Amino acid sequence: MGKTIKILIVAGVVILLLALMTIPAYNGFVNQREIVSESQSNIHNQLQRRADLIPNFVQTVKGYSDYEQKTLTAVTEARAAVAKASSVAETQKAADDLNKAISVWVNAVTEAYPDLKANEQYVALQDELAGTENRIARARQDYNKAAQEYNVAIQKFPGNIVAGLFGFHKADYFENDAASNEVPKVSFE
């Protein structure tokens, strides 16, 4: 009887120690995963902000031109894709497509209608878009930092055991599109 009690006490101590190690690790992973989710949501919010500015930009340009419909369609479709994106990869692709469409459209319109650059509303909207681009870049940095901290935590011992037991998986990073490494062409004509 004494030997059985000792075995039960040792087993109880081992279970208690495992619980004391597991519970804080699990709760920490939950907190970090939520920070990653919040950071991803902030990216979506900034992308949506940019997408919401586009109709105002379009209306401003409409007053100056009957711009090329094909280019506007590409911007509109890219804008819709941002709203539909759900994963990091989908969001990144949609945002990159929207960046390209906006760049092509804005450059084409400003070259075709140089006096448009003097329009106050147009300039204000350009400034808003530039500010939003900075916010998007910052939100991506914050997301990647949160993802990195979370990914490190779920890979470190003994947390990796807890993460494996409870299904915590690595978070994806936002990465630059290959085209973003190209130097943009600026024209002051």
- pLDDT, residue 40, reads 92
CA torsion sign, 58 to 63 to 67 to 69? positive
Q: Is residue 158 situated within a structural domain?
A: yes
Q: Is residue 186 situated within a structural domain?
A: no
pTM summary value = 0.72
The DSSP element (H or E) to which 177 belongs, if any, is: none
- Give mean pLDDT, residues 21-46: 93
**Looking at residue 12, which CATH number applies to its domain?**
1.20.1440.20
What is the number of structural domains in the chain? 1
Domain of residue 151, residue span: 2-179
Other Cβ atoms within 10 Å of 166 Cβ, number? 13
Report whether 127 contacts 60 (CB < 8 A). Answer: no
Q: Is residue 123 situated within a structural domain?
A: yes
- pLDDT, residue 1, reads 65
As a whole number, the mean pLDDT across the chain is 82
Q: Is residue 185 situated within a structural domain?
A: no
- Give mean pLDDT, residues 59-83: 72
Residue 65 has pLDDT above 70, yes or no: no
- pLDDT, residue 69, reads 63
